[in-house]
A and B are shown apart, each in its own frame.
Chain A
């Protein structure tokens, strides 16, 4: 096929000999076709019609149904089938065309094979425009008579710990219509794309996977919260003790660590069955669709073959196979054990599942129910112990050492008691597994399911592990499984034959070691009860189509608001703000194959670190916008936007960073003081410290040998009150009050002293002030003080100071910039060009890495001063890199 096409094109290019041959061949094929038509017509005259009269198709590439069956249909219904595209061809039939071909065929009508199939079914020639393969620029402008509903591929998202990996699925409806029969989940007035104001809230309120994926994090947070609020009493333990004494059989009380793993049995299903008791015992699946779509209801414009191809490439799993066009593509989130018996699996397409189990009942998602049951589950367990590690909304690890010891019960007793309680309270069954570590507990649960419990006693472990298949080990996914299978390891007993060194060599040190340990039932991962969020983010890579900078800006602001509200919800603030952009790859077409999807993208990520932790929308938005400005991505090329906040601190912790600074500073001055500085000089040092806090980098540098140089500008410091007071405002943090030397206070001018005392009393909103002060830190005093710092340094010290400066601050303070420029100017004046080049190159590298426009500007400003000075001293500029490309 491929070869033939090449020939055709070369024939068109004027190779006469080819042309002659091809013309003859085409004519002959045409003849053969008409002959076949005659034959077919005589044999099956009843089915034939003339609906395709005047239509001549050429099938390009792989189609469903195949080219051959299309040919037959055309034969039977009066159409023409061209083996080669010619100017007589009226339509091109294709399921999927590469971009380059699309360009070639620009003026041709490229139609999906369904057009033929549907036309035959309807016994009339349907309007081909509804079946256009690509609604590209040229074709999309046509005024469709009917609605067109585009569907969006659902990306598989598992319950991930962080929110970053969440992917979203929403169904997009065209503006004019609301033909979303199956997808009742979603509102009809869905915001169309990211440029519309309510897009973001729609996006997040409708994304199922968003809900599920955030639940794990939610419950981790919940456990942490419970632990914080706990008063150390566990009402459940008392009940358990009574229960234990009732069934008085004091079995071997395990003294060592016992980990319990609780997992609800097909959680989504059992929650759904609470108010559908009549479905109990039947095969049930949770999915958003109701069943297979009747052909007439089939949404137009869906390219099934293409998507199937995509899924096949992506997953190579059997669930995909054997899907017909009318089969529902909605995935099964969870299915009951009855359904599993028929071979159903979670994640299967509903269409496939219905084939395996025709009487499958489907129930919709019930997010409120899941939440309710989850909370109930966690509360129940929390009544016994708070040594809980939440895994997801229906799964957790519990360290039961304390419970068992306090209540003198065996794991089995505890499990049956707890499970009964869960069942009573939630109406859903849970399975529990016990082991001496997380791995064993988890594997035990697997064995316990459904609705059971299993205590993997230490003595049984060795035998138990032998039959575990490698897929069941944590961290062994599809890739690793296939690799292990290639190695001949299907079960843990196989795996145990490999040496640790061999496994490490094969899979890397970490994975190899984990495999080695796990296949022997060993697991040294400890439970983490209090969960610390590492990052909070919001990302949208669907529907991002900006036409102007303003739209992009507005959206970034909205997204910043989303992140901000998430931060506030969990009472955290972050210091590092990262902007993630998905930018249309250069070669990628402007219109993605998937409607409003992101297509092929380059990923660009930049972050900036702030001096204080923030959570408010404005600061995040400002930061993100400045990063976006530096990246200068064309708004029209943006395909995905994400904001991530890391280096989180809790609200109450927010002053920690500052505190640490001050502590260090105090230490520095104390050392200086110990070198027997006279009293009045201590005064100066105190103020020097104050000035240093503003620019953290410099601050770190206050070391004993520099203290003497700090002393020099004493008079100036004392006289420039205005500067001083503003800085002192934040310098005094609560604990430092006691550090304040009475003599120093006394030595200060009256108004400053008052200021200090006031600040001491009301230094609660410390960091707010700090933020303000940092931005207006320009003061001659500091320059003088810090200059002397620079001067007493070696080049290497200057360089490391500079590195720290660039990496710590988001925007260079003007005073620091002029300070460095002055330092360099002096170096030029003292003809120290060797050192200058080192410092300047170092600065260049730092700034280059920083990728920050403000910094680059600062670099250029510094360099301009240096070069001016060079011209004066040497009559020539330094040879420097001055572009950041």
Chain B
């Protein structure tokens, strides 16, 4: 549900507390908004990364319009479920500001990481950017990313056949403990990675884009293994 709707509802219910309530509500709503936008963006991004890197047949993707540009969304239920579950966790962590990076790691047949799409969250802003009240510039940045991503494939060597991918989160140590204990994640457990599953051998960086939406500053780049 869009935050603005939430806001209005409460407004109708308690008009006595209106001033106080609104201010709290706005803060909450904005906090939700920032991570919502990011989650939404990450969803679009992950789907498109998978599409661009060609690890699934293109037939499982359908074209949708997002941020005013065509994007590709997977229609495969299992894949979508995986992505959604990942994003749920990320969203939870984002609200607590406990995520540093989200990475989509591609492994070759021998489970050696060959490529890493890194969404480096540089800054997560909770206050609305006064310059961009309608989020036009923010959307512009997201649109720019989508277009840039589509071009990135040409700068990278193709993935080896039978590649797989995983979503990895870079977070603080306390989080990994809490994730393991949290009952909500029991159906979708998170495992702490070892270094050889995260580090790309002899990496070289291909920058994709640094986005500044006003709510968050995000740098996206690819680390490509030299031994792909």
Contacts and interface: CB of A to CB of B under 8 A. Distances in A.
A581 interface: no
Nearest to B203: A876
Interface stretch (B24-32, B62-70, B182-190, B216-224): B216-224
A879 B155 contact: yes
A832 B205 CA distance: 13
B148 to A, nearest CB: 9
A831 B221 CA distance: 11
A833 B203 contact: no
B3 interface: no
A874 to B, nearest CB: 6
Contact of A877 (B155, B205, B207, B210): B205
A501 interface: no
A834 B209 contact: yes
B146 to A, nearest CB: 15
B122 interface: yes
Given A831-B210, A831-B219, A878 B204 contact: yes
B206 interface: yes
B205 A878 contact: yes
Contacts of B221: 833, 874
Nearest to A876: B203
Nearest to B210: A834
A837 interface: yes
A879 B210 contact: no
Interface string A606-632: 000000000000000000000000000
Secondary structure type dominating chain B contacts: strand
Nearest to A875: B203
Which interface residue of A834, A875, A876, A877 has the most chain B CB atoms within 10 A? A876
Residues of A in contact with B, size category: 10 to 19
Given A831-B219, A833-B219, A876 B205 contact: yes
Given A834-B207, A834-B210, A876 B219 contact: no
A870 interface: yes
A879 B223 CA distance: 9
Contacts of B206: 837, 878-879
Contacts of B209: 834
Contact of B223 (A831, A834, A876): A876
Contacts of A834: 207, 209-210
Nearest to A833: B207
Nearest to B155: A879
Given A831-B210, A831-B219, A833-B210, A877 B203 contact: yes
Contacts of B219: 831, 833
Contacts, number: 37
A870 B203 CA distance: 11
Interface string B193-216: 000000010011111011000000
Given A876-B223, A879-B224, A833 B205 contact: yes
B122 A879 contact: no
Nearest to B217: A831
A224 B184 CA distance: 94
Residues of B in contact with A, size category: 10 to 19
A876 B103 CA distance: 15
Contacts of A876: 200, 203-205, 223
A870 B205 contact: yes
A831 B101 CA distance: 15
Interface string A847-885: 000000000000000000000001000111111100000
A880 B206 CA distance: 8
A879 B203 CA distance: 8
A874 B205 contact: yes
Interface string A822-839: 000000000111101100
A833 B206 CA distance: 9
Nearest to A874: B205
A841 to B, nearest CB: 11
Contacts of B224: 879
Contacts of B203: 875-877
A130 B224 CA distance: 68
Contacts of B122: 831
A876 B224 CA distance: 9
Contacts of A870: 205
A865 to B, nearest CB: 16
A831 B209 CA distance: 11
Contacts of A832: 210
A843 to B, nearest CB: 16
A812 B225 CA distance: 33
Contacts of B210: 831-834
A519 to B, nearest CB: 53
A831 B121 CA distance: 12
Nearest to A880: B204
Nearest to A878: B205
A834 B206 CA distance: 9
Contacts of A878: 204-207
Contacts of B207: 833-834, 836-837, 878
A870 to B, nearest CB: 7
B152 to A, nearest CB: 11
Interface string B105-137: 000000000000000001000000000000000
A124 to B, nearest CB: 75
A765 B70 CA distance: 65
A776 B225 CA distance: 42
B151 to A, nearest CB: 12
A879 B207 CA distance: 9
Nearest to A836: B207
A839 to B, nearest CB: 12
A313 to B, nearest CB: 47
A870 B204 CA distance: 10
Contacts of A831: 122, 210, 219
B80 to A, nearest CB: 30
A836 B155 CA distance: 16
Contacts of A837: 206-207
A875 B201 CA distance: 11
Nearest to B156: A879
A836 B205 CA distance: 12
A231 to B, nearest CB: 70
A397 B202 CA distance: 72
Which interface residue of B200, B207, B219, B223 has the most chain A CB atoms within 10 A? B207
A834 B217 CA distance: 13
Contacts of A879: 155, 204-206, 224
A794 B224 CA distance: 28
A67 B89 CA distance: 93
Interface in B136-187: 155
A868 B131 CA distance: 37
Which interface residue of B205, B209, B221 has the most chain A CB atoms within 10 A? B205
A460 B224 CA distance: 80
Contacts of A877: 203-205
B176 to A, nearest CB: 21
A874 B199 CA distance: 12
Interface string B54-96: 0000000000000000000000000000000000000000000
A874 B203 CA distance: 10
Nearest to B208: A834
Interface string A250-279: 000000000000000000000000000000
Given A870-B205, A878-B206, A879-B206, 20 more contacts: A832-B210, A833-B205, A833-B219, A833-B221, A834-B210, A836-B207, A837-B206, A837-B207, A874-B205, A875-B203, A876-B204, A877-B203, A877-B205, A878-B204, A878-B205, A878-B207, A879-B155, A879-B204, A879-B205, A879-B224
The 4 A-B residue pairs with the shortest CB-CB distance, nearest first, are A876-B203, A879-B204, A833-B207, A879-B206
29 contacts: A832-B210, A833-B205, A833-B210, A833-B219, A834-B207, A834-B209, A834-B210, A836-B207, A837-B206, A837-B207, A870-B205, A874-B221, A875-B203, A876-B200, A876-B203, A876-B204, A876-B205, A877-B203, A877-B204, A877-B205, A878-B204, A878-B205, A878-B206, A878-B207, A879-B155, A879-B204, A879-B205, A879-B206, A879-B224
Interface of B: 122, 155, 200, 203-207, 209-210, 219, 221, 223-224
